Amino acid sequence: MFGFGYGEGFPDHSIASVEPAGEGRILIRTSAADVGQGVQTVAVQIASEVLKLDPEHFEIVEGDTHTTQNAGSSSATRQTYFTGHAVKEAAEDLLGNIYHYASQEFTTNHPEMGTRDGRIFSHVNSDDEMTIWELKDRLANRGIELKGRGTFFPRTYKPDPETGQSEKVYVGYSYHTQVVEVVVDTVTGQVTVEKAYSAIDAGKAINPAGVEGQVEGGTAQGLGMALMEEQIIEEGRTLNPDMSRYLVPTAVDVPEVETVIVENEDTDGPFGAKGIGEPAMIATAPAIINAIYDAIGVRFYQLPVTPEKIKAALEQN
Amino acid sequence: MSTKYVGEKVTKVDACKKVTGEAKYTEDLVNDFSDLLHIRVLRTPHPHAYLREINLEPAREVAGVVEVFTAADFPELKEFGLIIKDQPVLVGIDQKMRYLGDALALVVAETDAAALQGRDRIELEIEELEVVDNPLRSMEQGCIQIHEDHEIEVTHYLDPEMCCDNILSDNYLDKGDVEKGFAEADLIVEREYQTQFVEQLPLQVEKGIADYDEESGEIIIWAASQWLHDTQADIAQAMGISKDKIRIKQPVIGGAFGKKEDISVHIHLALAARELKRPVQLIYNREESMIAQSKRHPQIIRHKTGVSSEGKLTAWQTKMIMDTGAYASSGPAVVRNAMFHCTGPYQVPNVRAACYAVYTNNTYCGAMRGFGATQMAFAYDSQMDVIARELEIDPADFRMRNAYQPGSTTPGGEKLELGVNVRETIARARRLSGWQEGDNNA
């Protein structure tokens, strides 16, 4: 389980804008850092959905403190929820502006209009049609900039300092259950994680491949924490500050991961989405430790459970 | 809801550029400059000591060394940090070094080799202090104080018995009546769990370039950050300049996992670029990255759990001590995130917790995927397994019996209403894995 967003009364928000640029292109302006998790793809899919326009038309401007506004950090499993919301609002704001200004050009009103694939059209008069970019140029001549802007700024609640109690600690919670199959070699102490089965609650997966990728990466990282990773610091000095002595899982250590995504669209996130970046990881280490107990009847209380520790424990029994 | 693009396996928008090599990481941007200077940082030789003297002359004599900067060159510098400002940009004379990653001097040279040679020639005199490498030692009466010169603002210090000299923050939960809950229990299980220092290990280590625009007085930094605007604000406050004079341009990021929340190369780059009015680069190696930048916090977690013979949780008490290392970084938030997750997704009517973030002279700890809750999950879901085995209930059934449902309340007293799908994830994972079906809702 993971409560996402900063929580605990810490101010948390994201600002984005969506702006038609040169012919056929639309810029999404957000400073949300894509650290590989795919927030840029999520932003494009959401803007695509609102504007009914294929993803290849969108471009994300490069993060820059002077040309983008605050999107908060890529952490706390918050970007799909926060920047997803901000981009959705910005795209809806742009859509609202498109309808507003195009209705002036068409001399009609919103319900009698539509937009799809970059075209704006009237349901009443088939001659009334233009592209988003034609509208943008016409407005530019009138000194009007066609764009949409969105900010998501939910209320957060500060807990009581003595009891930690509050009305709402986090903006939402994501759940993940993982079952792992392990084989323990009782001669060498080596643990092989053969298979992992995950059911992750994403609310709505904006990009199911992204969710699966997060679960696979999270499983690898959780496996590392359970079985091998440890920066050994003695008297303040790191004894293994390199990748030959600090062991991380490689492709041969990581099991096949089978994932089902629970999608009840039952949150107030964009399209019912929740964040899943951190919950994708946290189920794995306890699942492995519990599976080792199931295999050899030894309970380990200290991570990581290295082959040396397993051998020593088995020899004691 | 019917959607066309949302819910589809759309190809990642940055995939093609990353595969073809078109994506520009910091190391690619280096090629855009012809006159880059190289920085190497002299770090501390001892994890806890006073700096008494520093002799830069031997470094300055190295051919190619352009300048060597120390704290003495920047009397206006303030300390930095994500939540509280307790980390020095450069440790000055008669100031304290608190871990092996603290910076003592910046050697700027025409080549990396010269910067490195210069760095290794700097002579130091230090006064060594006791190294506190264990949070339990750190909490003992009479232990040397690590931050005697800082007023730490995030603590409550509600326990008058405790020695608070090295406690960064103490945090408490109290829900229901935990004593009553234990009195109602048929079985009480108490166990202690420990986690380790984990390195986030993004493929890309800390790297950056900075340039100074003499006309506008703007310092432009190209370096990855998980939070551009927060990094910008922290650099500006540390240097005592206005925020708009710091412009950060985000290169493509080579992984982070929490490690790129903290300041790393940024302030050192900004100072050198401004002073020398030339573009500079600072690139850590893996060793420097592992020693100088944040780790996942090791936690010592003691759970005491009461349960009825039918397998219903009645009380849960948690004490957690977390080694935050030499500086606060995200520590005050990580300890609380761990605390609020102390019972995981399981409904417990009576909960009490006391969680501490404690300074030591270890490499400082900060954000890493799960932010304290990952360590806590190892402990609470091990604890649940221990109890299930003792009660001889199927571990999946035991979890199902106690898992949240709409209307459950968290340890923080929040009543859960939206999207409480934990039981469904248990049922689906169970089915997917072929886990033998038991009684789901006893």
| Chain B contact set for A60 (CB, 8 A) | 13
**pLDDT confidence of residue A63:** 94
For chain A, say whether B263 makes contact (Cβ under 8 Å): no
A155 or A212, which is more confident: A212
Contact status, residue B291 vs residue B237, Cβ threshold 8 Å: no
For chain A, say whether B189 makes contact (Cβ under 8 Å): no
Contact status, residue A236 vs residue B362, Cβ threshold 8 Å: yes
Contact status, residue B247 vs residue A62, Cβ threshold 8 Å: no
In the block, which residue shows the tokens 């520790």?
A309
pLDDT band of residue A193 (cuts 50, 70, 90) is: very high
**pLDDT confidence of residue B171:** 94
For chain A, say whether B1 makes contact (Cβ under 8 Å): yes
Contact status, residue A310 vs residue A191, Cβ threshold 8 Å: yes
A109 or A63, which is more confident: A63
**pLDDT confidence of residue B183:** 98
For chain A, say whether B142 makes contact (Cβ under 8 Å): no
For chain A, say whether B128 makes contact (Cβ under 8 Å): no
- Backbone dihedral region for residue A189 (phi beyond 0: left; psi -120 to 50: alpha; all else: beta): left
Q: Which of residues 146-185 of B touch A (CB under 8 A)?
A: 156, 158, 171-175
> 0.95 exceeded by the pTM?
yes
For chain A, say whether B50 makes contact (Cβ under 8 Å): no
Contact B197 A70 (CB under 8 A): no
**Among all residues of A, which ones are annotated catalytic?**
278
Segment A117-143 mean pLDDT: 95
Whether pLDDT at B442 is above 60: no
Contact B255 A36 (CB under 8 A): yes
**pLDDT confidence of residue B437:** 57
Question: What values do phi and psi take at B339, rounded to 5?
Answer: -60, -45
Give the number of other Cβ atoms within 10 Å of residue A313's Cβ.
17
Share of residues in chain A with pLDDT > 70 (%): 100
- Tens of pLDDT, residue by residue over B217-245, are 999 999 999 999 999 999 999 999 999 99
Spatial neighbors of A168 by CB under 8 A, at least 6 apart, are A156, A157, B414
In the block, which residue shows the tokens 């500050």?
A241
- Tens of pLDDT, residue by residue over B388-400, are 999 999 999 999 9
**pLDDT confidence of residue B160:** 78
**pLDDT confidence of residue B441:** 38
- Tens of pLDDT, residue by residue over B366-384, are 999 999 999 999 999 999 9
- Tens of pLDDT, residue by residue over B140-167, are 999 999 998 876 766 777 777 888 889 9
For chain A, say whether B198 makes contact (Cβ under 8 Å): yes
pLDDT band of residue A190 (cuts 50, 70, 90) is: very high
**pLDDT confidence of residue B297:** 98
**pLDDT confidence of residue B164:** 84
- Is the ipTM higher than 0.85? The answer is yes
Within A120-231, residue ranges assigned H as helices are 132-141, 208-227
Contact B174 A162 (CB under 8 A): yes
Tokens of B278: 């030339």
- Tens of pLDDT, residue by residue over A242-298, are 999 999 999 999 999 999 999 999 999 999 999 999 999 999 999 999 999 999 999
Share of residues in chain B with pLDDT > 90 (%): 94
**pLDDT confidence of residue B157:** 72
| Chain B contact set for A309 (CB, 8 A) | none
**pLDDT confidence of residue A82:** 98
**pLDDT confidence of residue B440:** 39
- How many angstroms separate the CA of residue B63 from the nearest CA in chain A? 30
Q: Which structural domains are found in chain A, ordered by start?
A: 9-152 (3.30.365.10), 175-316 (3.30.365.10)
In the block, which residue shows the tokens 């190289």?
B38
| Chain B contact set for A14 (CB, 8 A) | none
| Chain B contact set for A38 (CB, 8 A) | 12
For residue B362, CA distances in Å to A241, A295, B132, B205 come to: 13, 36, 8, 20
Q: Between A and B, how many CB-CB pairs are < 8 A?
A: 354
Q: B64-90 burial by CB neighbour count: b if 16+ within 10 A, else e?
A: bbbbbbbbeebeebeebbbbbbbbbbb
- Tens of pLDDT, residue by residue over B279-288, are 999 999 999 9
Q: Which of residues 310-369 of B touch A (CB under 8 A)?
A: 333, 336-337, 339-341, 344-345, 353, 360-363, 367, 369
Spatial neighbors of B236 by CB under 8 A, at least 6 apart, are B242, B243, B245, B246
Rounded Cα gap, residues B346 and A145, in angstroms = 52
| Chain B contact set for A199 (CB, 8 A) | 424-429, 432
DSSP letter at A62 equals: P
**pLDDT confidence of residue B153:** 67
| Chain B contact set for A62 (CB, 8 A) | 249-250
Q: Please tell me which of the candidates B173, B197, B291 has its beta carbon nearest to residue A230.
A: B197
- How many angstroms separate the CA of residue A274 from the nearest CA in chain B? 9
- Tens of pLDDT, residue by residue over A13-32, are 999 999 999 999 999 999 99
Whether pLDDT at B438 is above 90: no
| Chain B contact set for A169 (CB, 8 A) | 340, 410, 412-414
B interface mutation test: which of A92, A162, A175 has the most B CBs within 10 A? A175
Contact A69 B435 (CB under 8 A): no
- How many angstroms separate the CA of residue A141 from the nearest CA in chain B? 32
Among chain A residues, CA nearest to B97: A236
Contact B250 A33 (CB under 8 A): yes
| Chain B contact set for A206 (CB, 8 A) | 6-7
Contact A262 B421 (CB under 8 A): yes
Contact B199 A177 (CB under 8 A): no
Among chain A residues, CA nearest to B367: A75
Rounded Cα gap, residues B311 and B391, in angstroms = 7
Contact status, residue A39 vs residue A6, Cβ threshold 8 Å: no
How high does pLDDT run on average in chain B?
A: 96
Share of residues in chain B with pLDDT > 70 (%): 98
Residue A15 in 3-state DSSP?
strand
For chain A, say whether B203 makes contact (Cβ under 8 Å): no
Q: Which structural domains are found in chain B, ordered by start?
A: 15-129+202-292 (3.90.1170.50), 167-199+295-433 (3.30.365.10)
Rounded Cα gap, residues B360 and B364, in angstroms = 8
